[in-house]
């Protein structure tokens, strides 16, 4: 009998303690709201907020492996929904239509991958006119009314590629060289990178032999590479400025039995492509910080939509507090650090695999 009484007393005590804890948590939550005038960051009341990342070629391996985990991580950290939208192939018209359709749904915010083409300016402006916050990444749309650009500084990327090519030529004992650039030349981001490259090699021993348009296609990049190698017998290096060029370049160089004879500095194209550095077929792969640019873009959009930094209750549309440009930086993958990079990518994928991106 005594044991039953003791047990009852313990149960009552435990329930009372739980009630006190619950009340204390509710009081803390309420006081936080009262103090800030706004729910706390990550508050469950925002669970239905939806943010949309939009691009063409949305199923590109680089996007799947490097963008999606960042979107998933943000959705998990902030307790909101993040959805991927846009055609899975290179379809600019479909991309533009998707931006307009998604804006019409009035999401909490949109990320537009602007590096593909300047014609995306108009749909971005339409979204902004509708009161939908838009941040552009991975290639700016400077003539648009976007709130901000979060991504790679493409001019500086071109400068960096030029410096790397100069350094690798010197280390190879070459005091002169000719380099070809392969990329989708109509993109504004590509033009910025080309200008950075040209400005940096000016009055050096390196010459830009040609710039070839791959039309954002791997097979076209391979064809252009074969043609360039045949047309320029003194070619000593090739630069890829987009993810589609690299595999085509490597395939063409291997086929023409030029492996190891040209200095290849290429843009990333998925995890498996990093093996070309490990095998010595490519000297360097440049990786954009897709993780940083997308997480930061979503952070800006979340803060904007929820008025987290709404100083003095000022209208953010009239007083945009978001920095105009955020340079997310790059990672240089060489034979010395490629294994470390692959391990980091594997760890990120493993950590994100149980999280969910809400897709079209």
CA distance 351 to 289: 18
Instruction: Name which of 270, 169, 60, 297 is nearest 250 in CA terms.
Output: 270
pLDDT in tens, 283-293: 999 999 999 99
Mean pLDDT over residues 307-318, rounded?
Answer: 81
Last residue of a domain, one of 288, 317, 337: 288
My answer on whether 215 and 325 are in the same domain is no
My answer on whether 168 and 200 are in the same domain is yes
Which two tokens mark 41? 């960051």
My answer on whether 315 and 167 are in the same domain is no
Give a yes or no: residue 101 inside a domain. yes
Give a yes or no: residue 96 inside a domain. yes
Does 253 score more than 90 pLDDT?
Answer: yes
What per-residue confidence (pLDDT) applies to 189? 93
My answer on whether 59 and 100 are in the same domain is yes
H/E segment holding residue 19: helix 2-36
DSSP for 174-231 reads -S-EEEEEEE-TTSHHHHHHHHHHHHHHTTSSEEEEEEEE-TT-HHHHHHHHHHHHHH
Mean pLDDT over residues 83-95, rounded?
Answer: 95
CATH of the domain at 115: 3.40.50.2300
Mean pLDDT over residues 5-27, rounded?
Answer: 39
Query: 300 vs 20, 107, 134, 308, CA distance in Å?
Result: 37, 14, 10, 10
Does 99 score more than 70 pLDDT?
Answer: yes
For residue 245, the 8-state DSSP code is H
Domain residues for 158?
154-288
What per-residue confidence (pLDDT) applies to 319? 87
pLDDT band at residue 359, thresholds of 50, 70 and 90? Answer: low
What per-residue confidence (pLDDT) applies to 360? 57
Give a yes or no: residue 233 inside a domain. yes
For tokens 């370049």, the residue is 249
Which two tokens mark 289? 């910080």
Mean pLDDT over residues 205-228, rounded?
Answer: 96
pLDDT in tens, 17-40: 434 334 434 444 433 443 446 788
CA distance 275 to 337: 12
Cα torsion angle, 100, 105, 106, 107, sign: negative
pLDDT in tens, 160-197: 999 999 999 999 999 999 999 999 998 899 999 999 99
Residue of 301 and 18 predicted with greater confidence: 301
Give a yes or no: residue 13 inside a domain. no
Give how far the C-alpha of residue 31 lies from the chain's centroid of Cα atoms, to the nearest Å.
37
pLDDT band at residue 356, thresholds of 50, 70 and 90? Answer: low
Give a yes or no: residue 123 inside a domain. yes
Number of domains into which the chain is organized: 2
Helices 290-305, 68-78: inter-axial angle, 10-degree rounding: 40
CA distance 19 to 22: 5
Instruction: Name which of 263, 243, 262, 234 is nearest 164 in CA terms.
Output: 263
Average pLDDT taken over every residue of the chain: 88
pLDDT in tens, 193-207: 999 999 999 999 999
Give a yes or no: residue 219 inside a domain. yes
CA distance 242 to 239: 9
CA-based Rg of the chain, rounded to a whole angstrom? 25
Give a yes or no: residue 34 inside a domain. no
Which two tokens mark 355? 């999280």
């Amino acid at each position: 009998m005594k044991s039953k009484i003791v047990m009852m007393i313990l149960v009552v005590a435990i329930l009372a303690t739980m009630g006190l804890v619950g009340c204390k948590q509710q009081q803390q939550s309420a006081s936080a709201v009262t103090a800030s005038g706004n729910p706390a960051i990550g508050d469950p009341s925002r669970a239905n907020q939806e943010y949309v990342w939009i691009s063409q070629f949305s199923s590109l391996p680089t996007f799947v492996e490097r963008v999606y985990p960042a979107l998933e991580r943000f959705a998990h950290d902030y307790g909101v929904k993040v959805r991927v939208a846009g055609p899975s192939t290179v379809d600019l018209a479909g991309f533009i239509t998707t931006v307009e359709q998604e804006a019409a749904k009035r999401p909490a915010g949109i990320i537009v991958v602007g590096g593909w083409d300047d014609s995306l300016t108009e749909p971005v402006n339409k979204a902004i006119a509708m009161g939908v916050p838009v941040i552009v990444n991975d290639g700016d749309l400077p003539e648009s009314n976007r709130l901000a650009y979060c991504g790679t500084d493409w001019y500086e990327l071109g400068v960096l590629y030029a410096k790397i090519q100069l350094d690798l030529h010197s280390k190879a004992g070459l005091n002169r060289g000719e380099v070809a650039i392969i990329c989708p030349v109509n993109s504004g981001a590509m033009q910025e990178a080309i200008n950075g490259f040209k400005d940096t090699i000016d009055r050096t021993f390196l010459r830009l032999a040609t710039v070839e348009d791959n039309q954002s296609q791997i097979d076209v990049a391979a064809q252009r590479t074969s043609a360039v190698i045949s047309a320029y017998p003194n070619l000593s290096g090739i630069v890829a400025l987009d993810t589609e060029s690299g595999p085509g370049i490597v395939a063409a160089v291997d086929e023409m039995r030029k492996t190891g004879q040209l200095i290849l500095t290429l843009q990333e194209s998925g995890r498996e492509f990093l093996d070309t550095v490990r095998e010595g077929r490519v000297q360097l792969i440049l990786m954009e910080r897709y993780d940083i640019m997308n997480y930061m873009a979503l952070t800006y959009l979340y803060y904007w939509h929820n008025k987290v930094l709404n100083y003095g209750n000022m209208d953010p549309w009239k007083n945009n507090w978001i920095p105009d440009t955020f340079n997310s930086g790059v990672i240089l993958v060489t034979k010395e650090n490629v294994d470390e990079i692959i391990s980091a990518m594997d760890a990120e994928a493993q950590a994100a695999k149980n999280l969910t991106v809400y897709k079209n």
